[in-house]
Amino acid sequence: MYNVRSDIDKNMNFNNKIGSMAPGMNMVDNLEIYPDKVVVSVNPKFYSLDVVYSSLYNFLDKYYCKIDGDPEEEIIVEIKPKKGKEDMELVGRNFNNELVNYAAIEIRGFKTEEMRLEIVKRALASHQPEKLDEEILDEDLEDWERDPEGINIPWEEKYGKCEECG
């Protein structure tokens, strides 16, 4: 069974090792904030790799993104701006918000999967051709045989045989 408290204790012990941090780096929650990038530590027990990729997709226009780490233990995401300087803590926090957003979407997807499949099944089943009603078919054949507009004449009868066609 997963113990959230033990992970919190590990993170607190890690955060207390301030002396080992690189110059210019600041630790906030799961973020390592540098002047030119932010490194986000993602717990795969809370967020799947699919959620991480989906969250990063929204950042690709403005940022260089890198994923590293062990998907079973810890996913490391590095986000670096393509142009100019930005508030890297804000970028990291926005990424965390995207993680929550896509995790919620994934959960809703799992919860509504059966319902969505049933809707598609019903939609496809309702568009299968039914057996034609014999009365309607007979009426259509009678109209065709009567030919009230006088257009039901074979080509050869109306224009003759094509001599070039052989």
Each residue's pLDDT tens digit, 46-62: 999 999 999 999 999 99
Domain count, the chain: 1
Q: Which of 21, 36, 26, 27 is nearest to 79 (CA)?
A: 36
CATH number at residue 47: 3.30.1360
Please tell me the distance from the alpha carbon of residue 88 to that of residue 85, in angstroms, as a whole number: 8
Is 143 domain-assigned? no
Residue 6: pLDDT band with limits 50, 70, 90: very low
Q: Which of 38, 44, 43 is nearest to 63 (CA)?
A: 38
The predicted structure's pLDDT at residue 130:
56
β-strand pairing of 74-81 with 26-28: unpaired
Q: What is the CA radius of gyration of the chain?
A: 33
Is 138 domain-assigned? no
pTM of the full structure = 0.60
Three-state SS across 13-25?
Answer: HHHCCHHHCCCCC
Is 17 domain-assigned? yes
The predicted structure's pLDDT at residue 20:
46
Domain extent, residue 94, equals 4-126
The region that residue 160 occupies, defined by phi over 0 for left and psi between -120 and 50 for alpha, beta otherwise, is: left
Which residue would you say has higher pLDDT here, 46 or 15?
Answer: 46
Residue pair 74/41 in contact (Cβ under 8 Å)? The answer is: yes
Q: Count Cβ atoms within 10 A of the Cβ of residue 56 and give its class: 0-12 exposed, 13-18 middle, 19 or more buried.
A: buried
Is 30 domain-assigned? yes
Mean pLDDT of the region 68-91? 94
Is 36 domain-assigned? yes
Residue 133: pLDDT band with limits 50, 70, 90: low
Is 24 domain-assigned? yes
Is 101 domain-assigned? yes
Is 95 domain-assigned? yes
